């Protein structure tokens, strides 16, 4: 397809959208008619898009029950409050868990009366947890590459 034709098609498609949505500027209707008359495939595309527009025009989003709105803001405010509490709780929990883990490992290292195989088992368990965590992170990264939502910013 020549660059000129591609440009003409793109222009026609934009005009078709504007025509369907009642956003044509003055003079554009004639331009669209000329383009449609010159390209039979565009005319059939126009008919299809027109049908889709008619179908979607006949639809609206379903209205929720009226009581939905009565406690809407209270729920928003409660969420905001709880969100702050969760942040504090999580920060505290992370610091305490990290500290407890560190102290525990230090004590474990220095405990002479604990059988070696128990020490090895505990270290193996922690290593396993770390590997699992890394594996989940790697999978998430892999999924992102093939995810149709990847272009959507988090």
Partner 1 sequence: MELTLDRPAPVGDRELLLRTQSGEREAFGELVRVYMRRAYYAALGLVGSHEDALDLSQEAFARAFRARNRIDPELPFYTWYYQILRRLCFNHNRNRRTRRDRLRQNSEWLAEEAGQRAPADNPQRAAERAETRRRVQQGIAQLKPAEREILVLKEFEGLKYKEIARLLGIPIGTVMSRLYTARRHLADLLEGGP
Q: Is 10 in the site for partner 1 (CB under 8 A)?
A: yes
In the numeric block, the tokens 């500290």 are attached to 99
CB–CB of 24/32 below 8 Å? yes
Q: What is the DSSP letter of 24?
A: P
Provide the mask over 15-34, with x wherever binding to partner 1 is found by CB under 8 A and - wherever it is not. Answer: -xxx-xx-x-----------
Interatomic CA distance for residues 80 and 95, integer angstroms? 23
For partner 1, which residue of 27, 83, 110, 115 counts as binding (CB under 8 A)? Answer: 83
Q: Is 149 in the site for partner 1 (CB under 8 A)?
A: yes
User: Can you tell me whether residue 144 is helix, strand or coil?
Assistant: helix
CB of 127 to partner 1, least distance (A): 29
Q: By C-alpha distance, which of 84, 85, 125, 75 is closest to 105?
A: 125
Tell me whether residue 44 or residue 97 sits nearer to partner 1 (CB atom).
Answer: 44
Q: Give the CB-side neighbour count of residue 3, counting CA atoms within 13 A.
A: 0
Site for partner 1 in 87-126 (CB under 8 A): none
Q: Is 139 in the site for partner 1 (CB under 8 A)?
A: no
CB–CB of 20/44 below 8 Å? no
**Binding range to partner 1, per CB under 8 A, among 27-35, 113-121, 125-133, 144-152:** 144-152
Interatomic CA distance for residues 84 and 93, integer angstroms? 14
**Which residues of this chain interact with partner 1, rule CB under 8 A?**
10, 13-14, 16-18, 20-21, 23, 45, 48-49, 51-53, 55-64, 68-69, 72-73, 75-77, 79-80, 83-84, 143, 147-149, 151-154
């Amino acid at each position: 397809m020549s660059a000129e034709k591609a440009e003409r098609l793109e222009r026609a498609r934009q005009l078709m959208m504007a025509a369907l949505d009642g956003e044509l500027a003055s003079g554009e209707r004639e331009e669209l008619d000329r383009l449609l008359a010159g390209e039979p495939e565009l005319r059939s595309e126009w008919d299809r898009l027109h049908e889709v527009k008619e179908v979607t025009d006949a639809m609206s989003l379903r209205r929720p029950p009226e009581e939905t709105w009565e406690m809407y803001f209270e729920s928003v405010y409660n969420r905001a409050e709880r969100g702050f509490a969760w942040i504090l709780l999580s920060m505290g929990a992370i610091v305490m868990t990290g500290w407890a883990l560190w102290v525990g490992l230090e004590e474990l290292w220095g405990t002479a009366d604990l059988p070696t195989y128990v020490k090895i088992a505990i270290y193996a368990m922690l290593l396993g947890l770390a590997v699992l965590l890394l594996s989940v992170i790697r999978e998430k990264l892999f999924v992102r590459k093939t995810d149709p939502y990847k272009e959507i910013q988090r």
